[in-house]
Amino acid sequence: MGGGPGGLYAAALLKRLDPTREVTVWERNAPSDTFGFGVVLSDETLGGIRDADPVVYEALGRDMVRWDDIDVVHRGHRTTSTGHVFAALGRRRLLEILHARCADLGVRLRFRTEAPPADVLAAGHDLVVAADGVHSRTRETHADHFRPTITTHRCRYIWLAADFAFDAFRFETAETEYGVMQLHAYPYGPAASTAIVEMREEVWRAAGFDELDEAESTVRCAKIFAEALGGRELRSHRSAWTAFRTVVNEHWSHGNTVLIGDAAHTAHFSIGSGTKLAVEDALALAHSLRDHPDPTEALTAYEAERRPVVESTQRAATASLRWFEELAGHVDRPPRRFAFDLLTRSRRVTHANLRLRDPAFTATVERDFGCPPGTPPMFTPFRLRGLTLRNRVVVSPMDMYVAEDGVPGDFHLVHLGSRALGGAGLVMTEMVCVSPEGRITPGCTGLWTDEQAAAWARITGFVHAQAPGTALGVQLGHSGRKGSTRRMWEGIDQPLPEGNWPLVAASPLPYRPGVNQTPRALDRAGLTTVREEFTAAARRAAHAGFDLLELHCAHGYLLSGFLSPLTNHRTDAYGGDLAARLRFPLEVFDAVREVWPEERPMTVRISATDWAEGGTSDEDAVAIARAFAAHGADAVDVSTGQVVPDEAPAYGRSYQTPYADRIRNEAGVPVIAVGAISSWDDVNSLLLAGRADLCALARPHLYDPHWTLHAAAEQDYEGPAAPWPAPYRAGRRPPPTGRRN
């Protein structure tokens, strides 16, 4: 059902693998009808086509145009990056090739004919392939089984074409009086190019595109991007402004009916994956049916193989889509940094593979960043107030839950000491609680007694003596309504079986109703007490020798509970609008800053989103960061979530970094990025793109305490930003593996 590239190619492959099969394609449009102009296929996809059907591969090869360059044009400056391999051809030509191949193989093609409903077809056929597109009738009819989620995004775009060939894949921004607009253009023939114009919905309306017809929109777009087009016209073909929709389905098959292509999943056009995914779906489906004669088994195997690949592509596409949605926040970057940021937006292209593809371009970006010769970005120093960090790697705060009465012991000495010896520029403690009632669990560390301060001084003394140049930071916090729970491995967020202590919070809202206790809302006296507990802990932290102090205002703990509208329902001066919700956290920050040594930096960790409807918005997060910066915060540690239990995070590689990026570039404050940053390549990419100043990693440092030193060794770096401790120098090269004769 559906005669687009995915449906046609699936039909051809199924018939080719078994000529006795009767295969019919139903397509409601005429053979020559098509949407869009050019399609891009990767070498990987073409390789799969070559192996599955050399006839189609050879036909495609005769019409494909190939190029290596990407041009990024920004504020009159064109930056070219090479080494990117693209192959494209006209969508109409692709359909002609597939029509001919289907006809040669004996596939029945029924054009201008609406397919019967899928359940009707399923009753008389062994298999129904629903390739009926983003508006799939099959998916909607059986939504109770496929369980689709469709997200409409914030930009409008239109597919147009130009009757000449761009000499590269071209991205160009136009900063108009209405807002920022974007051109995505690429050649697909000797004298033909696709030109997609995209902009935020509010820019589209302000520019009056909502009142223009197809022809008027086409002329207007050509005028806006006249320089890119050399004054030439654009043309349209049933082109309409639309908002991209991301389609996700919980299930891809229902009985003997299976969804492929846009019916099953969509990926934003900015990573060129729509046709690619559909063709790869067809390949995988055909192979599954070859290997599993039973259709039910084949469809199960097909989905098991394809779903991880598709989900990875969709994550990359979502990152790319969001980058273009937030384009206005990127345009103030210098041209080469802007280009690097654009090229790495999806996280599939990184610093490391750009160095392989285009070493000259990457070297210029590194020089612009300030990398000394031979120094990776992550090993460039960074200054916060009176503290210079020798590199950009932070060991993120990680609760260990093994303290006795709040006193850190030998475990903490070894845990933090080993990470300090491992080369990170800054090592952070776990959340150190300011009072017994402010603990999360009985195993949390504290700084409410001099005994605890003395134990911390033992650890800072070790780090400063044995890992000179490593900074040690303390994170101060209060658990609020999330306190009095078991250690993580005994039942996360579950109350203690006995010995629970009373909780306080911004509002009397239990973390999990019916599970966690209801906290007492802090009154004026309680607010004063908590503020004084923070200042007393800060004084002890200073005397204990910590180099940096971070105020924990994230993850639903006490101060975070004041910031989020989901957890702060107060009607006094500390509740209501954002300015009021900020009041108490800022009072605590000011009190701590007053007693914390002037030359030592202070940072603040925030949850930039609650991942829940009605929670902290992107705009709120920027405003919160601005407020703390105005009160003297030297950097903002940008995390997300853990504020309410019914959150729905969009997990993925570096999934929290877009929030850090926005805060850094809108609020103008240094940021620490955190959240599934796992490789040194990610760290280098985030820094060079201007999305972060420092990168905090947690689990990688649990896996490898010497993560930073090993990152240096893997990049052949032996400079002052990653010195090996003298006793460890013999191990600064990976040991040989296997036998050597």
**Would strands 179-189 and 128-130 be described as parallel, antiparallel, or unpaired?**
unpaired
Beta bridge partners of 199: 156, 181
Q: How far apart are CA 115 and CA 352, in angstroms?
A: 48
Q: CB of 271 within 8 A of CB of 316?
A: yes
The backbone torsions φ and ψ at residue 36, rounded to the nearest 5 degrees and listed phi first, read 80, -175
Closest listed residue to residue 358, CA positions, set 8, 11, 71: 71
Q: How far apart are CA 720 and CA 381, in angstroms?
A: 10
Q: For residue 440, what are the CA distances in angstroms to 14, 137, 348, 606, 628?
A: 59, 50, 38, 18, 25
User: What is the token pair recorded at 41?
Assistant: 């296929």
Q: What is the 3-state secondary structure (H, E, C) of 429-476?
A: EEEEECCHHHCCCCCCCECCCHHHHHHHHHHHHHHHHHCCCCEEEEEE
Residues 6 or more apart in contact with residue 362 via CB below 8 angstroms: 340, 351, 354, 355
End-to-end CA distance of the chain: 61
Catalytic residue, chosen from 188, 557, 655, 717, is 557
DSSP for residue 666: H
Q: How far apart are CA 454 and CA 202, in angstroms?
A: 57
How many CB atoms within 10 Å of residue 570? Answer: 16
Q: If residue 388 lies in a helix (H) or strand (E), which one and from where to where?
A: strand 387-389
Can 557 be counted among the known catalytic residues? yes
Q: How far apart are CA 521 and CA 508, in angstroms?
A: 5
**The dihedral sign for the CA sequence 688, 690, 696, 697:** negative
Q: How far apart are CA 671 and CA 665, in angstroms?
A: 9
How far is Cα of residue 466 from the mean position of the Cα atoms in its chain?
37
Q: CB of 495 within 8 A of CB of 516?
A: yes
User: What is the token pair recorded at 621?
Assistant: 């997060």
How many CB atoms within 10 Å of residue 76? Answer: 7
The catalytic residue positions are 557
